[in-house]
Amino acid sequence: MREAHDIERQVGIDYYVSDADGIGGRLRDSPADFRVTELELFDTEPVDADPGAYPHLVVRATLRDWDTNDFAGALSDRLGISRERVSWAGTKDKRAVTTQLFSVDGIDPDDLPDLSDADVEVLGRAGRPILFGDLAGNRFEITVRTPDAPGNVADITDDLQTFAGVEDAGPDEGNPVAVPNYFGQQRFGSIRPVTHEVGLAIARGDWEGAVMAYVGSPHDREPEQTREARAVAETGDWRAALDVFPRHLGYERSMLHRLVESAGDEDPADFREALETVPTNLQQLFVNAAQSYVFNRILSERLERGLPFTTPVVGDVVCFTDSDAPGGLALPDTSRTQRVTETRHQSITRHCERGRAFVTAPLVGTETELADGEPGDIERKVLEDVGIAPEDFDRPGEFHSEGTRRAIAVRTDLTVDRDPLTFSFDLPKGSYATVLMREYLKRDPDDR
């Protein structure tokens, strides 16, 4: 196995599974080079349904070069409503063309504003908002520009087919491939990967440390003005930091505003309240990023020990497929799990080989029960290394998490077109296209 890039190792991604040389090249020379379309799993009523019973207007938006949070903020601003009334199923990359669902509470179709680089189609109404996870998956079409060695595609694909347990690999059209189901770099911040550090501090009950990880912690990949502002924040002079913090860093500024209000009378509750000034989905993301980091570390440790990913060993916990998933998409249902014992090992292995079950690892929370055997040893070792335990996620409000489990490998049928070099594939919800693409490019993830 090859070691990953340094910045990937900061978020727990320690290895590539492909030993073949990368193709190099660039992603996202233009937003159209990275197209994402949600595979929808959300039912609506007709648009003329009773708004009293169905208050949430559901739209399908195709966005060009829009951050999901920024689009929701712009939409709510133009509507003159709280951003909490705008909901969506999954956050997408900014530099892309994305097609995704949104719901907006308490508006009519005629209220929708025109926003640049956004095509909005009204689908109907719903009795509840769209929530995170209310989709089956995503369809990707990704073009790599100026690849250095496009001929390496075949060797990399062979390695990923071997990882998937596929024998007698054929040509690279419609190839079944698999990769570790890492959380991608963007989960933690592509330029400045710190959201997991915020979440780990929250889990430890270190509210001041969580704030400082977010507003402080200057990173050498940031602009000089931003680094200098973060350095001022690290002195604890909140007003001076607020004076120099760039205007576009609105979340950091909102935290600093709250700390200015409490200057001279700070206690842990003030720092927690500063964290609570950011949108609720970002509060949740801090904790989710900590869980994601631990998960990535568990996968890297499993790779290092040479344990399989697509078939179980005794002690593993597996989950089964979601019977409601759209045809052709293998969607793990982590509400249906089973421990792998000596007596069950053979039968569960057959289920995994046939795509009916998936080996899992924990997204640690208060309800987490760790695996047995060597997989359990790995989980406990990683938790000890990062200094947290499942009960540490018993925190107030949006910072609380019961945890769940997640498949440790993601498999897809990959199609590669050569001119231009374009990769097309579907992934289940929560899996990252960049985790597959990194195996092909093998370069700094910030080199777009």
Rounded to whole angstroms, what are the CA distances from 192 to 114, 121, 202?
Answer: 33, 35, 18
| Contact in structure between 260 and 232 (CB atoms under 8 Å) | no
Q: Looking at 93, 172, 392, 426, which residue is catalytic?
A: 93
CA distance linking residue 197 with residue 294, whole number of Å: 11
Closest CA to 430 of 188, 184, 192, 194: 184
- From the list 105, 26, 102, 44, the residue with the least C-alpha distance to 68 is 102
377 is annotated as an active-site residue: no
CA atoms of 88 and 66, how far apart (whole Å): 14
Q: Which residues contact 350 (CB under 8 A, 6 or more apart)?
A: none
Half-sphere exposure of 287 (CA within 13 A, CB side): 29
Residues with catalytic annotation? 93
